[in-house]
Structure 1
Amino acid sequence: MTVREQGQRYPDRKKASISEKVPFEELQWFFDCTVDSAGPGEENVVWVQLSCPDNFEGLWFTAIPENGDRVLITVLSVMQNRWRCEVAVSSTDGGEIYRIHPRVDT
């Protein structure tokens, strides 16, 4: 039984280690998100739990491998300062974070 079948809100670990590039125009953008939790996982995967009003609550995403360190630094800063962020993800079904920007105006 997979994690998703167990009703938990984070993607399958097997997906986290496989990164297929998504064309920029197919990314899904969300502009008012909070970072609920974040940290490193197995095989240098960075996990980020995000919530975005009216879209999703407490979903886990992974950073694309080449951006892992930068994503982790950004989300830890967002959490520490209680900022909101803008993100571009491959999908809202266990997707990957391609871009993340802090919103310091909030």
Structure 2
Amino acid sequence: MMEQMYVQPEQIVSFEFSRFRLPQYVNEFKPLLFKNGELYFAVLGSDLKNGICGKGETPEDALMDWNDQLREVLRGPDLDNPAIRYVLETISALKREI
């Protein structure tokens, strides 16, 4: 299991992923969604710097940006980064299940 960023409970945004048409990676990994100030953030990993992070003016924008950021890091993955390693291992496992 991967370490996930801690966010104050009152900042966490409850989001029903199944109610929206979202990219496959967003639905598979369901990043933590929270609001800080006027922006929404989606993060998978231990913090904003080392995790995979997206942001936007709405929850959906943050999730779409997160998906874009994930696709970008997968082009040249940093295998020392636990969040990226977790994503690669999960994707590999999903391919074996199909």
Give TM-score scaled by structure 1 length. Answer: 0.29
Higher RCO (CA-CA < 8 Å; seq separation 6+): 1
**Larger strand proportion of the pair:** 1
**Larger helix proportion of the pair:** 2
